[in-house]
Structure 1
Amino acid sequence: MYLNMITIFTPTYNRAHLLHNLYNSLCIQTEKNFEWLIIDDGSSDNTQEVVQNFIDENRITIRYQKQENQGKHIAINNGVALARCELFFIVDSDDVLPNDSLEKIIEKYQLIKNNKDIVGIAGRRGYITGGYIGTNKKYSDIITTSLNFRFNHRIEGDMAEVFRTEILRKFPFPFFEGEKFCPEALIWQKIDQFYKMLWFSDIIYRGEYIEGGLSANIFKVRKNSPKASCLYYSELSKYNISYFQKIKAVANYWRFSIYDDIPFREKLKKVSIVKTIISLPLITLLLSKDGLRL
């Protein structure tokens, strides 16, 4: 039995100075049926002290847990396991929610709540200063898979997905020794093979791409976690997407595979040899862009 409707989950690492903005945005939500679950990924700053001050104010329900520094994906695994609510909404520590965000989420969720073929709902992300992040387009509600939404409806930009907690528990992120990053899309696309989602165009999440964040350093982050990155691209290349997108996925697989220490013959087993040959010009271009040569 779930205690509340939405677990707002925030993984954080040395972001104590930013958490106030998110906290303040949660305190003024028009919908109060939520908990804020924070997993501290081994911060060395005063994150715990800051969160304790929030808890002491007793304005919203907050739970805090600290883990060894293992990366956001492992924090998500732990957060999903600890969540007490029906829905799970990942909100990063440097972002905020519009004051009617949770009200809109619950309103949309009622439309699909009894349809067990739908994993959740997804609204749009916007900049804190205003406007959509990505495609500037309003659309009527769409029920489809994430890959179909991306590649056929052609909506670009990060979305704000809200998942059923019980389904997320069936799809944990993999752990690779020594790696602290795993693309979230790896799991979202696995879920995509079994469930659809309701997509709507209201902005329910606002943020910026700040210096030092994952998005700002994505190449370096993927390079330092090659096993997870290669797994993501190899699986993407096998999904029901356009042939061009498959070629791009194979090219990116080889782009990051050079940082992995598994034998070349093992790497060859992960993607199509034909698509590898076709993607060679793009592989060369990507490696050149990265400052390397074949």
Structure 2
Amino acid sequence: MKLTILTPTYNRGYILDRLYESLLNQTDNDFEWLIVDDGSTDDTLNIVESFKKENKLKIRYIRQENGGKHRALNVGICTIESDLTFIVDSDDYLLPEAVHEIFRTHQDFAYDENICGYSFLRCYPNLDINGSKFKSSPYISDYVSCRINEGVDGDKAEVYKTSVLKKYPFLEVQGENFLFEDYVWIQMASSYKTVHINIPIYVGDYLEDGLTKNIKRKKINNPIGMIERANIIGQSKAKYSFKVKAMVMYIVYGMIAKKSVHNMYENSFNKLLFIFLFIPSKIYYCLGFKK
């Protein structure tokens, strides 16, 4: 099998049927749907069982104790044997040609060891494109150069070669349940390039109970993950201005995590930059985060 569509979910039983229907409507059905239930307390299990009884799709279901989306992704990725992995959130859905477009692109780059995967466009339910398009299509570049340095914004639909994805597990911090996915994508960029395609295949719906709507609280409640993400950005080939922002983030979330100044200094990605930005970052923390 070429593709696994990996869906981490938590208490989204009420909307899973929309994604399910979009998978049934794919013009190419050579894929499996892997659902990793992050400890849902609703009727998710019964709903998935009803899908499986219809026997219209290859469906696998894994349940774990609640630990956050990144842990669910780690659990799911470890079990995947297909060539490609496509992470699709439970409140989103795919356009009918999505799988076909993925396979058409993969045909050209399957054996290119410098390529880690493919990035397509996302759109909103009204089909407007989410963020900006890539400067050409196909456009081969690494994640940091394209998405950070060149400023291509908005959420995209990323499909990764499973063999590469397994090399970069998401960081798991005891007591924390959130981590930005680009923690992995930025690390990949040091060794691999991505093929960027200006074709929308994914519809993103930002619900009130979703991660995006509650992102500020998530960041504050998961400071160690934010510290490590800042270090990853600082060690990457991001432009200097982004490294400055990363250092501010590193210091602010270090303070939120109650790290000592000595600890932060010793573990920072750039000690000179840490010294230069410590006081401004502390002022920023006191004004906007201390409460």
**Pairwise same-fold verdict (TM > 0.5):** yes
User: Amino acid of the residue matched to residue 77 of structure 1?
Assistant: N
Q: How far apart are residue 274 of structure 1 and its match?
A: 2.6
Contact 1:6/1:35 (CA < 8 Å) preserved in 2? yes
In the other structure, the counterpart of 1:96 is: 93
Q: How far apart are residue 280 of structure 1 and its match?
A: 5.1
Contact 1:247/1:278 (CA < 8 Å) preserved in 2? no
Q: How far apart are residue 281 of structure 1 and its match?
A: 7.4
* Cα distance change of structure 1 residues 38 and 256 upon mapping to structure 2, 3 Å threshold: same
In the other structure, the counterpart of 1:119 is: 116
Does residue 42 (structure 1) correspond to residue 39 (structure 2)? The answer is yes
Contact 1:37/1:62 (CA < 8 Å) preserved in 2? yes
User: Amino acid of the residue matched to residue 290 of structure 1?
Assistant: G
How far apart, CA to CA, are the structure 2 residues paired with 1:102 and 1:269?
46
In the other structure, the counterpart of 2:166 is: 169
**Structure 1, unpaired ranges of 5+:** none
What's the RMSD between the two structures over aligned residues?
1.8
How far apart, CA to CA, are the structure 2 residues paired with 1:207 and 1:285?
37
Q: How far apart are residue 275 of structure 1 and its match?
A: 1.8
- Which of 277, 289, 292 matches 2:290? 292
In the other structure, the counterpart of 1:276 is: 274
Per the alignment, in what secondary structure is the counterpart of residue 150 of structure 2? coil
Q: Deviations over 1:211-270 (max 9, x none)?
A: 121111112111111111100011211211111111011111122222214433111122
User: Amino acid of the residue matched to residue 270 of structure 1?
Assistant: N
Alignment of 1:1-294 (within 5 A): 4-135=1-132, 139-271=136-268, 272-279=270-277, 283=281, 286-287=284-285, 290-292=288-290
How far apart, CA to CA, are the structure 2 residues paired with 1:98 and 1:221?
30
Contact 2:134/2:196 (CA < 8 Å) preserved in 1? no
How far apart, CA to CA, are the structure 1 residues paired with 2:91 and 2:283?
34
* Cα distance change of structure 1 residues 57 and 136 upon mapping to structure 2, 3 Å threshold: same
Q: Deviations over 1:110-160 (max 9, x none)?
A: 111110110111101111111111115663211110001113432111111
Moved more, 99-108 or 186-195: 186-195
How far apart, CA to CA, are the structure 2 residues paired with 1:168 and 1:187?
9
How far apart, CA to CA, are the structure 2 residues paired with 1:291 and 1:222?
11
Q: How far apart are residue 27 of structure 1 and its match?
A: 0.5
* Cα distance change of structure 1 residues 281 and 141 upon mapping to structure 2, 3 Å threshold: farther
How far apart, CA to CA, are the structure 2 residues paired with 1:229 and 1:175?
12
Per the alignment, in what secondary structure is the counterpart of residue 267 of structure 2? coil
- TM-score where L is the length of structure 2: 0.94
* Cα distance change of structure 1 residues 136 and 112 upon mapping to structure 2, 3 Å threshold: closer
User: Amino acid of the residue matched to residue 32 of structure 1?
Assistant: N
How far apart, CA to CA, are the structure 1 residues paired with 2:189 and 2:287?
31
Q: Deviations over 1:27-50 (max 9, x none)?
A: 000010000000000000010001
User: Amino acid of the residue matched to residue 292 of structure 1?
Assistant: K
How far apart, CA to CA, are the structure 2 residues paired with 1:72 and 1:35?
19
Q: How far apart are residue 290 of structure 1 and its match?
A: 3.0
- TM-score where L is the length of structure 1: 0.93
Identity %: 33
Per the alignment, in what secondary structure is the counterpart of residue 145 of structure 2? helix
How far apart, CA to CA, are the structure 2 residues paired with 1:281 and 1:125?
40
**Structure 2, unpaired ranges of 5+:** none
